[in-house]
Structure 1
Amino acid sequence: MSYPSGENGDKAFDVDHTESVVIQADRQKSAWQCILENPKIAAWTLYANVGSALVGYENLALSVCLAMPAFQKTFASDVNGVLIIPAAWQSAWNATYNVLQLFGAFTAGHLQDWFGRRAVFLAAIICASACISLSYISQTQGQFLGGKIVTGFANLGMLIAISATFSRVSIMDESAFRVIFAAAWAFPGILALGLPFLPESPYWLVMKQEHDKARQALQRLSPSGEDIDARLDQVQQTVYRERELANGDVSVLDCFRGTNMRRTRIILICMYMPKVVGAVLSSNAPYFLNQTGLDSHMVVTLTQIGISMGVVSAVVNLFLMMKLRHRLLMFCGVGISIIMYLIMGIASLLPKTTGSLTVIGVSLQFISISYGPAVGASMAVAGEVSASRLRAQSLGLGAAFMALAATFWQVVLPYLFNQDEANLGGKLGWIFLGMAIVYLVIVYFDVPGTRGRTYEELDVMFEKGIPARKFEAYKFEDNNA
């Protein structure tokens, strides 16, 4: 086995054959085989996603608390005898959280490269615990904003948030909503318990020339009988190639040149999918439905049902993604949301009764069925269409665009549904209906299906300018394969 000998004088690894054998063996395994054969890696992956659950919890905890009478008594303003959270503060709480998430996403990668994954994990745990404390003790709108600024499997976190709220809607003192924020301490607590046993990333250790420690980390992560030398060779080869690509003259501007412009456009379209299928609207659903006039208990019940359906949709989509084409899943997901938006819009034109308001609430929550197929397939396409040497830059742009889109809607929505502002209520369905129809047309003409294609095949197809709707049926001649 040979290692890189220096930054500029790196010599090629003499392990091409070994690496090829390992890669081919991996490709022949199904996703379930990989999980069953690598239980330690699967377990640590679930552990790491506790942080994602915290994000989901935080996103929905604020919205459900906005709908709680006790929270409104503490933070709301009296507008003509009605307690209303000012739209400006709602926008600030939601948008600032998204902006700081964007900042964290861009800085976390560099910090991990400098200090290692475990060190950054520890810093994140401390930071999350501190910001949860600030949200818990806040008495004013500004203090609460400070907690959201620092905080800066999501469906699972949302389900926990709404379940924690269910039994506390009727409590009228501050403990009603403070318990919801206190429950968030469970997430960094779980991460802190597992951190001492978390192996450092073998890739990071190889980057730091700590090859013996990388071997030890692989031994801790791999099942018995695994060829550790072959795996270590594969890691070293990957790191070496990435260094070669990094040393090349690549910039973000390259994402907008030649065929890469089309690829970047597809990534941005895919990254906007969650907004089209109502993710940002659903995250505001509890307070939005409360503003339409629905009873708080009914609001919490509908939200719990909706998020539960979202969890089921995500699980079912794991199997659908293995069998069905990406474009079909995206069309089905957006199609479901279009039907629900139409029902919501029609219900908003009816007299304001408990029945019509319930229809608005049910249609809004049923949109969550579309999350799995629509968002799952679109994220898969976004991760596969970029050129290999520009993948980091392309996906970075996509993440930034997604955060900016979320920030825009989080700022705008409170002004659209608050009673002291536009007070659109269920008429918001018409706005999202129009957006979803336009988006569906764009997806049909511009977003290809990438399931089953290698990166090399995608490169050729983009160079040839194959239309998006013909990607999945395109066949290679032997001399082009």
Structure 2
Amino acid sequence: MAICSTGSVAFIFLQFFSSTPSQLFAGQLLNGCIIAFYPTCASAYVGEVCPLALRGFAASMTNLASLLANSLPLASSKLCKKGRYDEAEKSIRRLATPGIDPSLKLAHVKETLRLEDAFKSDNAPSILDCFRGPNLRRLIICVMAYDIQEFTGNILFIDYAVYFFELAGLDTSEAFSMNLCLTAIGFVGTCLSWWVVSFVGRRSAYLWGCGTLSIFCFIIATLDFAPTATHAATWAQCSLMLICNFVYDITIGPYCFVLLAEVSSARLRGMTIGLATVTCHVVSIVLAVAIPYAMNEDQGNWRGKIGFLFAGLGALSTAYCFFCLPETRGRTFEELDVLFERKVSSRKFHDYEINGAVAASEELR
């Protein structure tokens, strides 16, 4: 993350001092490649260092902002793998509360690594392992959890909000003011999600989030049939955009990163999250190119009717969540490994009983 931050600063300078469109494009492209590493690294890092009680809260914060890399200690598990035990103990001391014994925690990390080495095969993890057995199911869940962010219209009420407000009938100053409100409401929603994530399950949040956004996008699209001079319809559309952003930032937005950290296996976490990130960015690029043409009055002239597209995709996403998205809240990584190994139905994850971590370890053996 420190290397990515340094590279991003350099490429931002390239964008700032660019004198031709090609230089600007090169700076944006290179900076985009660097930024793509942040969600992958952050979600994997959370899964490695956070205890169960803080895992959901910490992972959801990825939705608010990228963390400062130089303020984060290295993961103790990574340091132990390299034999740097003194540094690992210092890392644990920085992360833990005063009541935690760092040496005891370090011993636990060492034993966990020893068990992992005993369980895994002689070959090093391969990206192909993500497409085999239970890991394929985990990969698909992570990919869909990420892509559903795009399918439910976040690009519409985040990236193209100002343009949408202007097409709806607001003047430039009103559109800018509404965009400020959009950002503020999104911030409030994300902050509330830190509390909500401890009480509302991942599956429930996705189901309600997808379903609600699908309905609101349908209403936004329907209101676009009203005459352009109807100010009530215009303000109704814009207000629903604000509500959509709030719903997104309290459900799908932060919960996505929680699922990435929990669903991916410890051995393949980085690769799984990386593949999910790549697919999400591919979908994002396609929509970023297509949506402006579809909305533009000189091209597709869909205007607010673009909501029908996201209403349909949102409905399909809701169906996927109902049948395929498991509930991971309150489960340890060992329990999740057992559930995936036993091929438990996603709808039964919440009620499936496992007799503690001992049973989980025995199952993996």
TM-score, with structure 2 as normaliser = 0.76
What is the alpha-carbon distance in structure 2 between the residues aligned to residue 337 and residue 309 of structure 1? Answer: 15
Q: 1:296: Cα distance to partner?
A: 1.3
What is the alpha-carbon distance in structure 1 between the residues aligned to residue 354 and residue 109 of structure 2? Answer: 31
Q: Is the 8 A contact 2:262 2:328 kept in 1?
A: yes
Q: Is the 8 A contact 1:327 1:377 kept in 2?
A: no
What is the alpha-carbon distance in structure 2 between the residues aligned to residue 465 and residue 284 of structure 1? Answer: 41
C-alpha spacing 1:135/1:392, structure 2 compared with 1 (3 Å):
closer
Structure 1 equivalent of residue 353 of structure 2? 475
Q: Is the 8 A contact 1:277 1:370 kept in 2?
A: no
C-alpha spacing 1:246/1:392, structure 2 compared with 1 (3 Å):
farther
Q: 1:261-300, aligned counterparts within 5 Å?
A: 261-281=136-156, 282-300=158-176
Moved more, 310-319 or 226-235: 226-235
Deviations along 1:9-68, one digit per CA (max 9) or x if unpaired, are xxxxxxxxxxxxxxxxxxxxxxxxxxxxxxxxxxxxxxxxxxxxxxxxxxxxxxxxxxxx
Q: Percent identity?
A: 27
List alignment gaps of at least 5 residues for structure 2: 36-64, 361-365
Q: Is the 8 A contact 2:168 2:237 kept in 1?
A: no
SS of 1:322's equivalent in the other structure is coil
Structure 2 equivalent of residue 256 of structure 1? 131
Deviations along 1:428-464, one digit per CA (max 9) or x if unpaired, are 0011111111111111111111212233433443344
Q: Is the 8 A contact 2:217 2:308 kept in 1?
A: yes
Q: 1:323: Cα distance to partner?
A: 1.4
Q: Is the 8 A contact 1:309 1:368 kept in 2?
A: yes
Q: 1:341: Cα distance to partner?
A: 0.5
C-alpha spacing 1:249/1:451, structure 2 compared with 1 (3 Å):
same
Q: Is the 8 A contact 2:76 2:88 kept in 1?
A: yes
What is the alpha-carbon distance in structure 1 between the residues aligned to residue 98 and residue 359 of structure 2? Answer: 41
What is the alpha-carbon distance in structure 1 between the residues aligned to residue 340 and residue 9 of structure 2? Answer: 46
Q: Is the 8 A contact 1:325 1:451 kept in 2?
A: yes
What is the alpha-carbon distance in structure 1 between the residues aligned to residue 163 and residue 121 of structure 2? Answer: 46
Q: Is the 8 A contact 2:146 2:276 kept in 1?
A: yes
Q: Is the 8 A contact 1:332 1:370 kept in 2?
A: no
Bigger radius of gyration, 1 or 2?
Answer: 1
List alignment gaps of at least 5 residues for structure 1: 1-119, 155-186
Q: 1:352: Cα distance to partner?
A: 1.1
Whether 1:364 aligns to 2:241 is: yes
C-alpha spacing 1:223/1:270, structure 2 compared with 1 (3 Å):
closer
Query: Among residues 432, 438, 444, which one is paired with 2:322 in the alignment?
Result: 444
Q: Is the 8 A contact 1:334 1:370 kept in 2?
A: no
What is the alpha-carbon distance in structure 2 between the residues aligned to residue 261 and residue 199 of structure 1? Answer: 31
Q: 1:308-387, aligned counterparts within 5 Å?
A: 308-353=184-229, 354-371=231-248, 372-387=250-265
What is the alpha-carbon distance in structure 1 between the residues aligned to residue 309 and residue 355 of structure 2? Answer: 46
What is the alpha-carbon distance in structure 2 between the residues aligned to residue 132 and residue 207 of structure 1? Answer: 35
What is the alpha-carbon distance in structure 2 between the residues aligned to residue 477 and residue 218 of structure 1? Answer: 29
Moved more, 344-353 or 214-223: 214-223
Moved more, 446-455 or 215-224: 215-224
Q: 1:351: Cα distance to partner?
A: 0.8
What is the alpha-carbon distance in structure 1 between the residues aligned to residue 72 and residue 335 of structure 2? Answer: 37
Structure 2 equivalent of residue 127 of structure 1? 7
Deviations along 1:157-199, one digit per CA (max 9) or x if unpaired, are xxxxxxxxxxxxxxxxxxxxxxxxxxxxxx99x96xx95x875
What is the alpha-carbon distance in structure 2 between the residues aligned to residue 462 and residue 441 of structure 1? Answer: 21
TM-score, with structure 1 as normaliser = 0.59
What is the alpha-carbon distance in structure 2 between the residues aligned to residue 397 and residue 326 of structure 1? Answer: 21
Moved more, 312-321 or 238-247: 238-247
Structure 1 equivalent of residue 53 of structure 2? none
Q: Name the aligned partner's letter for residue 304 of structure 1.
A: L
Q: How many residues align?
A: 324
Q: 1:68-467, aligned counterparts within 5 Å?
A: 121=2, 123-152=3-32, 195=70, 202-219=76-93, 224=98, 226-238=100-112, 245=120, 247-281=122-156, 282-353=158-229, 354-371=231-248, 372-467=250-345
Deviations along 1:228-275, one digit per CA (max 9) or x if unpaired, are 322333444455566664853543333333333333222222121211
SS of 1:272's equivalent in the other structure is helix
SS of 1:339's equivalent in the other structure is helix
SS of 2:198's equivalent in the other structure is helix
Q: 1:350: Cα distance to partner?
A: 0.8
Structure with more contact order per residue of length (Cα contacts < 8 Å, sep ≥ 6)? 2
Structure 2 equivalent of residue 98 of structure 1? none
Q: Is the 8 A contact 1:267 1:395 kept in 2?
A: yes
What is the alpha-carbon distance in structure 2 between the residues aligned to residue 202 and residue 448 of structure 1? Answer: 29
C-alpha spacing 1:309/1:246, structure 2 compared with 1 (3 Å):
farther
Q: 1:396: Cα distance to partner?
A: 2.3
What is the alpha-carbon distance in structure 2 between the residues aligned to residue 215 and residue 453 of structure 1? Answer: 26
Q: 1:223: Cα distance to partner?
A: 5.1
Q: Is the 8 A contact 1:331 1:374 kept in 2?
A: no
Q: 1:313: Cα distance to partner?
A: 1.5
What is the alpha-carbon distance in structure 2 between the residues aligned to residue 347 and residue 262 of structure 1? Answer: 39
SS of 1:389's equivalent in the other structure is coil
Deviations along 1:103-146, one digit per CA (max 9) or x if unpaired, are xxxxxxxxxxxxxxxxx62x444433333333333454333323
C-alpha spacing 1:426/1:207, structure 2 compared with 1 (3 Å):
same
What is the alpha-carbon distance in structure 1 between the residues aligned to residue 354 and residue 92 of structure 2? Answer: 38
C-alpha spacing 1:474/1:218, structure 2 compared with 1 (3 Å):
closer
Q: Name the aligned partner's letter for residue 327 of structure 1.
A: R
Deviations along 1:273-296, one digit per CA (max 9) or x if unpaired, are 211332222222123333444211
What is the alpha-carbon distance in structure 2 between the residues aligned to residue 425 and residue 468 of structure 1? Answer: 38
What is the alpha-carbon distance in structure 2 between the residues aligned to residue 215 and residue 450 of structure 1? Answer: 29
Q: Is the 8 A contact 1:276 1:334 kept in 2?
A: no
Q: 1:346: Cα distance to partner?
A: 1.1
Root mean square deviation of aligned Cα: 3.3
